[in-house]
Amino acid sequence: MSDAPSLPQPAEPRPQDFASSPARYFAATRPAFLTITLVGCLIGLATAHRAGTALDPLTATLTVLLAVLVHAGANVVNDVCDADNGSDAANRSRLYPFTGGSRMIQNVVLARREAARLGYALLLAVVPAGLWLAWQTGIGLLAIGAAGLLVAWAYSAPPLRLMSRGLGESAIVAGWLLVVVGADYVQRGHFALLPVIAGLSFAMLVGALLYINQFPDHSADAAAGKRTLVVRLGIENARWGYLLLVLAAYGWLVLQVGRGALPQAAAAAAFTIVLSLPAGRALLAHADEPAALRPAIRQTVLAAHVHGLVLAAAIAFGRAGEWFAR
């Protein structure tokens, strides 16, 4: 058994905690975790700025808002789908607020139908504003937006249920890479390679967050028929996947800095490996002890955020060669 100290689990939401419906709806989106999407947008805005594009405050703000709305909608839809398949209700090893869903449906704060309306309303709300943004910036944004909405829906919802097919990590990496590419596109008005190069290490670290979160949920997911990657591989084998993913992320960043595709200052983002590696070691040691993984999950959350913020700052303001500036 683990010798790690046992930390008190934050209190889950209860009906008496909310005085109004808007407060319940806001809490159901898991707002504390939406900041990762803001970070992704900042990377995209940084790549556009570094290419010499004058940033437009209105379209930049609208981009962030729409990306956050899609993320919020995906969170709620995920809760609805996990309520339908029974995995959240059966989850006794959850580490709230990181795993096991928002608990809004299970704790009768929101009815399942009410949560479903909220989730799909958030996803649909981005369509008119997204169409206006595409009209202002370029038709290519329609493809980015459609792909983003597809990933947000298909990640959890039938018939695709990507997470249950062992494709959740790939969907998350693709989704957050789309955030970076979309934020850049809105400012440039055309596609560029730089946001893909810059955003991939960040997107992989976001994927690593999803991956480590699957370990406390393993038993409930398996019982509910959710064939996540961790369920498919089994805990003993799957625990190595986290280290492979984070090392791939940092390796990609160092490679791109070394070949001059990113400024040398971007290498500073690799220092977040001091958070990722201890989290990986903890997972290797305690993959089958959910309560011991809370510090590792916190480190993974912090690594993705700090990595993205340092990367955005380095790209926006770091010195770079001629190829990078294009």
For 312, phi then psi, to 5°, come to -60, -45
pLDDT given at position 6: 53
Dist CA 106 CA 79 (whole Å): 10
Dist CA 274 CA 262 (whole Å): 21
In the chain, the amino acid numbered 51 is A
- Structural domains present in the chain: 20-317 (1.10.600)
pLDDT given at position 322: 40
pLDDT given at position 213: 97
DSSP H or E run through 175: helix 168-188
Question: Rg (Cα) of the chain, in Å, rounded?
Answer: 20
DSSP 18: -
**With contact defined as beta carbons under 8 Å apart, do 233 and 214 qualify?**
no
Per-block mean pLDDT, blocks of 10 residues, the chain (326 long)? 53 93 96 97 98 96 98 98 95 94 96 97 97 96 97 95 93 97 97 98 98 96 94 96 98 97 96 98 97 97 98 87 44
Q: Token pair for residue 291? A: 């309560």
pLDDT given at position 9: 67
Q: What is the pTM of this model?
A: 0.94
Q: Token pair for residue 195? A: 């946001």
| Nearest of 282, 266, 275, 267 to residue 302 by alpha carbon | 275
| Nearest of 232, 219, 210 to residue 99 by alpha carbon | 210
Dist CA 222 CA 92 (whole Å): 13
Give the residue carrying structure tokens 């340092």: 310
pLDDT given at position 41: 98
pLDDT given at position 10: 77
Question: What is the dihedral sign for C-alpha 27, 28, 30, 31?
Answer: negative
